[in-house]
Structure 1
Amino acid sequence: MPGTLTPKSVWSPTPILKAAESYRGKIFDIDSGRSVSSDQFQRLRQQLTQTLKQKGIAAGDRVLVTIANGPIFPIALTALLECEASPLLVHVMTPPAELARYAQRFGVKWLISSGGDEQAESVLERHGMIFAGDDWSLLLGRFPEPTSIPGPELRGVPLHPTSGSTGLPKIALRPGFPAMEEARHYTATMAICEDDCMMAIPPMSHAYGYGVTTMVPLLTGASIVTTAKFSVKQLARVLREFPVTVLPMVPAHIDILLFGGGIDFGRLRWLLTAGSMMPKRSAVQFRKKTGVTVCPLYGTTETGGISVATIADGQDVDGRVGPPMDGVEVRVHPPANADELGLEPGVGKLHVKSSSMMTGYLSDTGEVLTPWDEDGFFETGDLSKVVEDGVIHLRGRTGEMINVLGLKVVPCEVEEVIAAMPGVREVKVYAGQLKSKGEIVKAAVAVDDGVDEAALKAYCDEHLVYYKRPRDFAIVDKLPRNPAGKIQVKELP
């Protein structure tokens, strides 16, 4: 374990690059039927690093990365870090208009993408294809020169968009040390080693997939099976043909599997879910059907992984997410008005302190924000209680954030986009609930004549990544407000 860190070493990509240099696993891409050995991994990283430098990517440049799950994701990530560029990791299906907003807001110069979306070229000043070996091609493009680059020069610092607890999305700064600390926490808790094989179903660009299926394998040498196209049939084939021992999923996948055919989970050691609370009913039904216990994993982009439920914890899934991992401390602060809020005794806001904590938020004004208290604890925004055995029980969230299949949506960001549409007078975005208890994005919109639901949907398709798009629109004459002018969400359709 590293000793005291200097400010320079805290920001360094070296821990990630050292892990990548020693990686001896194998990466299987089942979507293309190709695989990458450890020797090929090193060779492709070196080749891509040279290409990126030749194309002009320099130390301190910020690069938007929209790359789907596959061997090319860790290859491109580590090649950018070798260039001392800072990759800003976003979903592969992020539409061009949203990419342009990121570029403008955070001073991004470059885009590297595997999405194959020709529309992305419309927001780039210049672009072209580059190659990693003979099998993988990537779009590399340059945005118009940013008018400003907010914040300090960041050399080789991975940048992760996060919903935060309030306001517009921020960028969590997660350099090499906290990234590898998170991987160490997972590795120690789940006893992961080079003999393990992880299946990457959650996006590797998302904090959950990034930590579990990118950083953990780099640290341990575990192999990875990747896919960007989840299906029950495909999962059954993978578990039959590959020695998968760790399977990260989201709760919605468990519901899908309940209605699927028989799958042999015999080699699995861990079936994880994260991103939202695992419904007890689904977990119990799944265990009865398959004999497999679902183990919820809990973490945030800011703190990294916080806890992983053990098999014993998984017998009682109802909000139970296991004890804090080694290197993680938690505190619960019940609010003074807990009785007024109807909270059960012991429930309060969860605060976390961890060696895997981000180094701060990069705001769009250029400030590096350090939102923790004087003792180093970060408020997660989650309501929880910690019982006598030290196990964390989640009890929901305190804010307006919407959880769409484990992907977080901040209403005010969606409102900002819709409000910019001509003919929209005012808009309120809020959460709706499905029968399965999952959340969807809804929007109540007051519009001028000529703007209808179809026009709103088309506009959102163009300007928002798929999970941020409202599923339901309600056209209203005006938004309901109280005498103080506050919008009354409970009165919305």
Structure 2
Amino acid sequence: MIPNWLLKRAALTPRARALSFEGKTWTYIELKEEAVIRANKLNALGLQRGNRIALLGATSAEMAMLIHGCMLAGVEMVLLNARLTVEEIEYQMKDSQSDLLLFDDAFSEKGRQANFRSVSYTNFLELEPIPMQLESMWEEDRVLTIMYTSGTTGFPKGVRQTAENHTASALSAVLNSGLHEGDAWLHMMPLFHISGFSILARAVLYGTEVRLFEKFDAAVAAQEIVSGNVSGMSVVAVTLERLLTVIENDNLLIHPKFRTMLVGGGPVPVSYLKRAGQCGLPVMQTYGMTETSSQTATLSAEDALRKPGSAGKPLFFTDIRIEGAEEPFDKGEILIKGPHVTKGYIGKHVDKQATENGWLHSGDIGYFDEEGFLFVSDRRSDLIISGGENIYPAEVEAVLVEHPNVLEAGVCAMPSEKWGAVPAAFIVAANTVDLESLDAFCKQQLASYKVPKAFYITDELPRNASNKLMRKTLRECVAEMNVE
């Protein structure tokens, strides 16, 4: 059995700072009181233990309180991506058999168009609460959240995440990074994403503060870090670069309290790591997915430049192996085992086994080096096979962003009659970039078959709500251009 995190934390450290948002702060006892009110309002809507509710909204204190309220009420949450269309919302609600859509007033147009029972935040908060028996203990396999994968192929899958999954993930993270008096996490991630939710889960388990912001803002993040307000933050490579630029341009000094810049969503370019080192920003690269309830491997800041491109070593409760690998550097699919791994899916994919003999097939290609450090080459679905040769887009992107005039890069497959497929690159330029010099730059560092056969300059790359690059969208752009 696992105790309800918020009830236990509020009993242990009631006056500790729990949450801050837009200038207001709540202690753990105050956060509990707000969450209880929302649990009782859910009861007023007729929602009981085991029912499912879909939440649609931006990152906010209200969303955080709703999340805790759902866990107190025993209501399973389907956390909807705020960027979904009405059709996508309806698919996920139908697939998850959600009983209600609760939406932020800013999403009223989508919320009211969806062909399901729905209630806005404003109407929800006006309800008269009906006291209920709070869920104080959870079975290990109790489903807390359901998150849909991005759906790079076919229909998105609804991933079940249990009390054990989230708790094991949080414990593994703290065993890796440690816990200090006064720790606080700067939260600028979407709450509906696994990285955003896991920050809430970790904080209440550790008894630390979450400094919550609606979205990423490099200037605000820099100020929080240099002022000593926070000890950690989660970013992806592109937001790390924006933060580094602010710190460098303003000659800011990192406060000694700040210990962890956790970077997920893909490898960090070496140039970024060097810049972070010069700024005194401790970068910890990490690897995880929706099915593993966030982190599953993490690289220490001390090893960042010694092992560039690595995701580190498996966390404490995690086993990772490479399918078919016999020696270090043998590439294959990354398989993951541990208490943080999902027990399965729902809806359309309910019959799909999440694991085989206890191992999750990640769909990612990677390898271990001779010291046991994990390297993630790419998504299997993003792999470019050109004339029988494997090309990993992330490897080409890592070279491109080292060019002084390239700010961001995305690489995908482009059809080729001769080779089957060849790489194409989309570039966000920092300054004017000469494509011939860019081609020459790549030829100096990449085998000829890995060099992009087409370069496209664009104002921005397609990214999801967590700022991860969506290569599927790049492939669709290439296909449209080829048709034209």
Instruction: Say yes or no: TM over 0.5.
Output: yes
Report the equivalent of 1:116. 106
Alignment check: 8 A CA contact 1:165 1:381 kept: no
Alignment check: 8 A CA contact 2:237 2:267 kept: yes
- Paired with 2:476 and 2:372, the residues of 1 have a C-alpha distance of 43
Report the equivalent of 1:370. 353
Alignment check: 8 A CA contact 1:16 1:179 kept: no
Alignment check: 8 A CA contact 1:45 1:75 kept: yes
Pairing 1:257–2:243 present = yes
Pairing 1:233–2:219 present = yes
- Paired with 1:395 and 1:106, the residues of 2 have a C-alpha distance of 32
Deviation, structure 1 residue 70:
3.1
Give the alignment of 1:72-471 within 5 angstroms.
72-114=62-104, 116-119=106-109, 120-123=111-114, 127-130=118-121, 157-163=144-150, 166-193=153-180, 195-211=182-198, 213-241=199-227, 243-260=229-246, 261-262=249-250, 263-266=252-255, 267-288=257-278, 290-304=279-293, 305-316=295-306, 318-334=308-324, 345-364=329-348, 367-374=350-357, 376-400=358-382, 433-435=425-427, 470=473
Deviation, structure 1 residue 41:
0.3
Alignment check: 8 A CA contact 2:102 2:120 kept: no
| Greater CA drift, 385-394 or 17-26 | 17-26
Deviation, structure 1 residue 348:
1.7
Alignment check: 8 A CA contact 1:26 1:36 kept: yes
Deviation, structure 1 residue 118:
2.3
**1:121–1:361 CA distance, 2 compared to 1 (3 A):** same
- Paired with 1:17 and 1:175, the residues of 2 have a C-alpha distance of 16
Give the TM-score, by structure 2 length: 0.71
Instruction: Report SS of the residue matched to 2:356.
Output: coil
Deviation, structure 1 residue 203:
1.3
- Paired with 1:364 and 1:104, the residues of 2 have a C-alpha distance of 10
Instruction: Report SS of the residue matched to 2:169.
Output: helix
**1:127–1:355 CA distance, 2 compared to 1 (3 A):** closer
- Paired with 2:226 and 2:66, the residues of 1 have a C-alpha distance of 29
Q: Name the structure with the higher helix share.
A: 2
Deviation, structure 1 residue 138:
9.1
Alignment check: 8 A CA contact 1:347 1:384 kept: yes
- Paired with 1:15 and 1:28, the residues of 2 have a C-alpha distance of 18
Alignment check: 8 A CA contact 1:62 1:109 kept: yes
- Paired with 1:314 and 1:138, the residues of 2 have a C-alpha distance of 50
Number of residue pairs the alignment of both structures matches: 393
**1:475–1:390 CA distance, 2 compared to 1 (3 A):** closer
- Per-residue deviation, residues 204-243 of structure 1 (Å, max 9, x unmatched): 22112222x1111011001110111322221133234452
Question: Percent same amino acid among aligned pairs?
Answer: 16
**1:432–1:161 CA distance, 2 compared to 1 (3 A):** farther
- Paired with 2:65 and 2:100, the residues of 1 have a C-alpha distance of 17
**1:371–1:93 CA distance, 2 compared to 1 (3 A):** closer
**1:196–1:400 CA distance, 2 compared to 1 (3 A):** same
- Per-residue deviation, residues 368-411 of structure 1 (Å, max 9, x unmatched): 5333222x11111222211232211222221149999xxxxxx9
- Paired with 2:354 and 2:260, the residues of 1 have a C-alpha distance of 33
- Paired with 2:186 and 2:428, the residues of 1 have a C-alpha distance of 25
**1:113–1:20 CA distance, 2 compared to 1 (3 A):** farther
Instruction: Report SS of the residue matched to 1:316.
Output: coil
In structure 1, the gaps of 5 or more residues are 1-8, 140-153, 339-343, 405-410, 412-429, 438-459, 480-488
**1:472–1:106 CA distance, 2 compared to 1 (3 A):** same
- Paired with 2:207 and 2:31, the residues of 1 have a C-alpha distance of 12
- Paired with 1:44 and 1:54, the residues of 2 have a C-alpha distance of 16
Give the TM-score, by structure 1 length: 0.70
Deviation, structure 1 residue 466:
12
- Per-residue deviation, residues 13-54 of structure 1 (Å, max 9, x unmatched): 855455554474424444x32221222101101111111101
Aligned partner (choices 39, 44, 63) of residue 49 of structure 1: 39
- Paired with 1:382 and 1:472, the residues of 2 have a C-alpha distance of 18
Alignment check: 8 A CA contact 2:268 2:309 kept: yes
Letter in 2 for 1:435: I
Alignment check: 8 A CA contact 1:16 1:180 kept: no
Deviation, structure 1 residue 171:
1.0
| Greater CA drift, 308-317 or 266-275 | 308-317
- Paired with 2:125 and 2:228, the residues of 1 have a C-alpha distance of 26
Instruction: Report SS of the residue matched to 1:435.
Output: strand
- Per-residue deviation, residues 415-467 of structure 1 (Å, max 9, x unmatched): xxxxxxxxxxxxxxx99743369xxxxxxxxxxxxxxxxxxxxxx9xxxx998
Deviation, structure 1 residue 202:
1.6
- Paired with 2:423 and 2:66, the residues of 1 have a C-alpha distance of 36
Pairing 1:59–2:49 present = yes
**1:259–1:249 CA distance, 2 compared to 1 (3 A):** same
**1:284–1:99 CA distance, 2 compared to 1 (3 A):** same
- Paired with 1:296 and 1:138, the residues of 2 have a C-alpha distance of 44
**1:432–1:302 CA distance, 2 compared to 1 (3 A):** farther
Instruction: Report SS of the residue matched to 1:393.
Output: strand
**1:325–1:246 CA distance, 2 compared to 1 (3 A):** same
Alignment check: 8 A CA contact 2:104 2:120 kept: no
